[in-house]
Chain A
């Protein structure tokens, strides 16, 4: 069974640019969540996708957007990058819906640096 994978591993962008991060969910999982983890902080919820629809969003501006595809993989897009967007971006998948009972399985993350 393949776990959650993310690409790329590291990324360096310039302020004002746009970036796309990718996530492949664990086999059999239809729910994907994205989190931002700033240095020295706990992860913060960005949004969640369930069966290709956004199913909840944290306190992030609209320039953070996402997609989920029919195979349940997902993308996180960030427009107009700011220096404070520098962080580890974590993707997590879970096996079933939105009941809250299912633990989330995390990928290794993408380290984004904005200069």
Chain B
């Protein structure tokens, strides 16, 4: 079975500060991992994905994440927060066999303080 835990339902950072959103996963088989962003009243937009290639993954809008198998983590980072980064962020896991459905965490709401 697959699952995702996102630590911290709310994270606040100052504009220009480091963004760190935490995600730990559980999977009985090698996982695929994803970060999605959701702006108010919108669907989900893919930020980045890990599919067993490079462990450091770069995504859109300056975000990146590192897959650490030993820690079962896939934390999302951005060196310098921008006001437009304020949104809800979801970590998700999928597996290589069967239906490629996503298992999502409960989300982290990022607030950027000017």
Residues of A within 8 A of B (CB): 4, 31, 33, 35, 40-45, 48, 50, 55-56, 58, 90, 92, 94, 98-109
Contact = CB atoms under 8 A, between A and B. Distances in A.
28 contacts: A33-B99, A33-B102, A40-B106, A42-B90, A42-B104, A42-B105, A42-B107, A43-B102, A43-B104, A44-B104, A45-B103, A55-B99, A56-B101, A92-B44, A99-B100, A100-B94, A100-B95, A100-B96, A100-B98, A101-B32, A101-B96, A102-B100, A103-B34, A105-B46, A106-B45, A107-B43, A109-B42, A109-B43
Contact of B101 (A40, A42, A48, A90): A48
A6 B14 CA distance: 36
Contacts of B77: none
Nearest to A49: B99
Interface string B1-28: 0001000000000000000000000000
Contacts, number: 73
Interface residues of B, number: 27
B87 to A, nearest CB: 14
Contact of B90 (A43, A55, A58): A43
Given A4-B43, A90-B43, A106-B36, 6 more contacts: A33-B99, A43-B44, A50-B99, A98-B99, A100-B100, A106-B44
Nearest to A54: B99
